[in-house]
Structure 1
Amino acid sequence: MIKFAYTILYVRDVARSVAFYENTFGFERKFISPDNDYAELITGATTLSFASLDLAKSNLPEGFTESDPTKPAPAIEIGFVTDDVQKTLNAALQAGATLAAESKTKPWGQVVAYVRDLDGFLVEICTEMA
């Protein structure tokens, strides 16, 4: 059996990213390494993890494209379901996220908004699928 266990974001400051996601979305810290190179948050069935750029570079010697908040967002997003998109969107913006797209209702009834986190990753804030 294969299961989707975690997503890892490569970030400049693991402790800062963990604090952002804890304070903004209310996730609980599962683990952070003593050297702050790797951390995990409890987010439900799938763990959200963070690795420092240095750790990522040591794992991937051929390199990767770093996320940069001053450049277009990477072609991937993480999504969080909430009962109150606007409240969660406001909390993210207050915590330092930048608005990528205001909330709107999709034709299938789902309300969706987008922010970019402190490292420029896209975060979808949405209601459950109708």
Structure 2
Amino acid sequence: MIKFKYVILYVEDVEKSMNFYKNTFNTEIKFITPEKDYGELITGETTLSFASISLASSNIKEGFLASKESAKPFGIELGFVTDDVKALVEKSIENGAVLYEDITVKPWGQTTAYIKDLDQYLVEICTEIQ
């Protein structure tokens, strides 16, 4: 059996990053270590997880590129589906996100927008594809 189970974002402040997603996207905290260097949110079948850069560095001995404010976001995105893209974009900005690509309607009818979260990860906020 193979099952896609989680995505881990490497962040400076696990608790702060988790609270952004909790407060913006109405997720719940499943688990956070007493050291607050790793945590998981309940997001359906696939868990959104967070690890501190120091914890990640101890696991990934060859190193990795950390998400930086001055750099363009990585070529990967997290996607959240909603019926009201405008309201969720506004809520994300109120919680500290930065608008990266304004709301647009794709030729196939899907409404999309892109933000950068507190750690500069790209997040798509969109409607379902019909």
TM-score category of the 2 structures, normalised to the smaller one: over 0.9
Give the unaligned 5+ runs of structure 2.
none
Runs of 5+ unmatched residues, structure 1: none
Structure 1 residues 96-117: Cα deviation after superposition (integer angstroms, max 9, x where no partner)? 1001001111111111100000
Which residue number in structure 1 is paired with residue 72 of structure 2? 72
| Alignment partner, residue 102 of structure 2 | 102
TM-score by length of 1: 0.98
CA deviation vs aligned residue, 1:82-103 (integer Å, no higher than 9, x gap): 1110000000011010010011
User: Within 5 Å, which residues of 2 pair with 1:48-59?
Assistant: 48-59=48-59
Q: How far off is 1:21 after superposition? A: 0.6
Q: Please tell me whether residue 40 in structure 1 is matched to residue 40 in structure 2.
A: yes
Deviation at residue 70 of structure 1 after TM alignment: 1.9
Shift of 1:53: 0.1
For the aligned residues, what is the CA RMSD? Answer: 0.6
Q: What is the distance in 2 between the residues matched to 1:109 and 1:72? A: 27
Q: Is the 8 A contact 1:69 1:116 kept in 2?
A: no
Q: Give aligned pairs, total.
A: 130
In 1, the alpha carbon distance for the partners of 2:70 and 2:36 equals 24
Scaled by the length of structure 2, what TM-score is found?
0.98
What stretches of structure 1 move > 6 A for 4+ residues in a row? none
Matched with 1:116 is: 116
Query: 1:32 touches 1:38 (CA, 8 Å); kept in 2?
Result: yes
- The percentage of counterpart residues that share the same residue type is 56
